[in-house]
């Protein structure tokens, strides 16, 4: 598998000591993102926090970066990415910030350099919408939420 080149830069040199995103293992699909905070920030239980990464990227056309939660933070602390997955479009050049939500029972402290989320590079397919008067029938039809039951 040949890697896709992504240009990355620090927004400011104040956080250049924080490691760039990296894969934790050879089999990891996501690069770990770290918090670029002065000292620490607190996300109170039941509240939202916007965590800066001090990173900007240039993603090739036809790709996106998805921001996803880290499973360890979710299971141990109830911390998730609120708009999961968050999307970084190929034409966005601003700082990547992560919207975290504290679903847990306690306030959560994020320290400088903590791993807060992961970013995954994904191929994007463009849709060509075709207006029509008819759609093909399916077995499910118009069955919505909970339609298949709890079996």
Domain ranges of the chain: 7-123
pLDDT 10s digits, 76-116: 999 999 999 999 999 999 999 999 999 999 999 999 999 99
**End-to-end CA gap in the chain:** 40
Collapsed DSSP state (helix, strand, coil) of residue 132:
coil
Report the candidate in 51, 54, 30 with the shortest Cα–Cα distance to residue 109: 51
CATH number for the domain formed by residue range(s) 7-123 = 2.70.40.10
pTM here is 0.87
pLDDT 10s digits, 32-86: 999 999 999 999 999 999 999 999 999 999 999 999 999 999 999 999 999 999 9
């Amino acid at each position: 598998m040949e890697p896709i080149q992504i240009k990355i830069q620090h927004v400011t040199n104040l956080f250049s000591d924080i490691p760039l995103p990296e894969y934790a293992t050879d089999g990891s699909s996501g690069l770990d993102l770290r918090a670029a905070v002065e000292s620490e920030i607190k996300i109170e239980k039941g509240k939202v926090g916007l965590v800066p990464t001090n990173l900007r990227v240039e993603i090739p056309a036809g790709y996106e970066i998805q921001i996803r939660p880290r499973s360890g933070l979710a299971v141990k602390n109830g911390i998730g990415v609120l708009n999961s997955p968050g999307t970084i479009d190929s034409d966005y050049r601003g700082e990547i910030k992560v919207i975290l939500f504290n679903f847990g029972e306690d306030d959560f402290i994020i320290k400088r350099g903590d791993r807060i989320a992961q970013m995954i590079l994904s191929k994007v397919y463009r849709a060509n919408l075709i207006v029509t008067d008819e759609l093909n029938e399916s077995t499910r039809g118009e069955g919505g939420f909970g339609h298949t039951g709890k079996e």
